Chain A
Amino acid sequence: MKYTNKHNVPQEIINAINNDSYTKGEAIISVTGLLQPPRIRLLAKEHSDSLTVDVSDEIWKLLGQSVHNILERANENNKDTITEQRMFSVVKDWTISGQTDSIDIKDNILKDYKVTSVWSIVSAQTEGKAEWEQQLNLYAYLYRKNTGKNIDGLNIIAIARDWNKNQYMRNGGNYPPSPISVIEVRLWTDEEQEEFVNQRVSIHQDAEIGYLINNDLPLCTDAERWRRKDTYRVEKKGRKSAVRVLDTQDEADEFMEGHKDKKQMNIVFAKGECIRCANYCDVAQFCNQNKEESKNGE
């Protein structure tokens, strides 16, 4: 990985970013890797030397690490808590590993700390967040395989990096009342965990073999690409923003039909953008799926 420094981030911060001690241990794949789309994982592996990231984009990761380190240090001698425990298991001949942030021995709850946005927290609390649920259940699976014991509960301890008291006072509603939120995550049955881990390992194994032998990578799904839904924009002559943005052509037609200015209006179809590909995928520049779809105007 190569870093650029477009925003003159001070050298001490760059040193800290370079000092990331993360390792997946003696394993073929980590929980994080398992949850990644195989296309991203394999392209990142292949292009690891030429990947370029700006240091400013790594700041939140650094903040996340610092929270983990401080918590680990603070709980070193706490007998009721196990922190930063790396666990291993063999699934379909692959050694997988995962590191839990914290396990509360007394209440038998596995916890993972996330430094994230208020928006993510609200979204997780209202709609649930599949990635978090999958991640924590994989840790629970590893814990069971390593200790023979089941976990009783899963919690995300979410720290909102952009929480603002004024916003809370103004918005109320779903806005978290504090910069730290405890989100309960659904604990799967042992069978659900087994099925999921086997499925993820198979997906990655097949992808690796397919890439090696057929030079073919599985396509990322819309969900993996964080694709926004397609929309129909009702636009009016002389106005920059859309009058209404609707989900279907029928809705847009109906809206326009009943509008007094319908003669000055037209409907523009807007293909849903893939947020991850456009803004958050480190390997988008090497990805033929992304290139192909960009070429087709998606």
Chain B
Amino acid sequence: MANKEITYKEVWDKLSKIDCSDKVEKKMNLSYLSWAWGWGTIMEHYPQASYLFYQGESDVPYVQFPDGTAEVRCRIAIDNLSREMTLSVMDNRNNAIQNPSSRQVNDTKMRCLVKCLAMYGLGHYIYAGEDVPRDADKEEKPVSELKNVEEVKKESKNMAKVSKPVETPVENPTPNEYGSEEWARLFCESFLKLAKLQKTKEEMTSYYKSNTKDLTTLREKFPKIKEMLDGELKSIVNSLKEV
């Protein structure tokens, strides 16, 4: 018999309580959590974890936007769990850099990895602007108070322009199980929103393909919703013909 599957809640409860205050480094006005420490901590608790950086079609590990700026994308998997994160390649004033160098991309990848770890709870309180981890007994802050929600939303929006995967919705960081009904609803909303931005059938095909994993999860868990999504998508595709 297979072991019991771990849940997002279980991981979150464990990692969000870890105090990383003494691992935070300050550079200019930004706080950095050491990726080596972050990954080491994950390995202590979940040695089976793995990470993956998006590899672009032109073999570069980032997505480049029409204005020449770029973002990296990271996915961390722990058994059946999966979290994704994006991060723009920025200078120390938080401005996106055009045509980044390999060094800048590499630094951003490691920051993105740390940011993705926060999606599992590790160091999340730092992104939320708090000094110490929340006490488990204290009431959770509402989602809207998290500082990085808008940033992530903005990044998700940008992704549509390059026909790349929709991020797992993060409007509600209270761990929405990947594959839950709520996840399905949010995924469909964002998928269709971004589908409307595709200009040609080729773009739509590439966009659809890049979301295979999430579309498959939707199909396996909620076949009726997937059928509805495909129906909506067909209408969008039909409108492409008229353009």
Q: Which residues of A are interface residues toward B (Cβ below 8 A)?
A: 26, 28, 92-95, 205, 209-210, 212-214
Question: A28-B219, A28-B220, A95-B220 known; A212 and B230 CB under 8 Å?
Answer: yes
Bound together, the chains give a CA A212 to CA B208 distance in angstroms of 10
Question: A212-B230, A212-B233, A214-B201 known; A28 and B208 CB under 8 Å?
Answer: no
Task: Give the residue name and chain of the B residue nearest to A216 (CB).
Answer: B201
A212 to chain B: which residues have CB within 8 Å? Answer: 208, 230, 233-234, 237
Tell me the minimal C-beta distance from B81 to chain A in angstroms. Answer: 15
- Interface pairs (27), CB distance under 8 Å: A26-B220, A28-B216, A28-B219, A28-B220, A92-B212, A93-B212, A93-B213, A93-B216, A94-B212, A95-B216, A205-B209, A205-B212, A209-B205, A209-B208, A209-B209, A210-B205, A212-B208, A212-B230, A212-B233, A212-B237, A213-B201, A213-B205, A213-B208, A213-B233, A213-B237, A214-B201, A214-B205
Assess whether B204 is interfacial by the CB under 8 Å rule. Answer: yes
Bound together, the chains give a CA A212 to CA B212 distance in angstroms of 14
Task: Tell me which residues from 172 to 217 in chain B have a Cβ below 8 Å from any Cβ of chain A.
Answer: 201, 204-205, 208-209, 212-213, 216
Bound together, the chains give a CA A205 to CA B219 distance in angstroms of 13
B interface majority secondary structure: helix
A213 CB contact (under 8 Å) in B204, B216, B220: B204
Tell me the minimal C-beta distance from A93 to chain B in angstroms. Answer: 5
Bound together, the chains give a CA A214 to CA B205 distance in angstroms of 9
Task: Give the residue name and chain of the A residue nearest to B217 (CB).
Answer: A93
Bound together, the chains give a CA A98 to CA B124 distance in angstroms of 42
A92 to chain B: which residues have CB within 8 Å? Answer: 212
Bound together, the chains give a CA A28 to CA B220 distance in angstroms of 7
Bound together, the chains give a CA A205 to CA B211 distance in angstroms of 12
13 more A-B residue pairs beyond the given contacts A95-B220, A213-B204, A213-B205, with a C-beta to C-beta distance below 8 A: A28-B216, A93-B212, A205-B209, A205-B212, A209-B208, A209-B209, A210-B205, A212-B208, A212-B230, A212-B234, A213-B201, A214-B201, A214-B205
Tell me the minimal C-beta distance from B178 to chain A in angstroms. Answer: 13
Bound together, the chains give a CA A209 to CA B237 distance in angstroms of 12
Bound together, the chains give a CA A72 to CA B29 distance in angstroms of 70
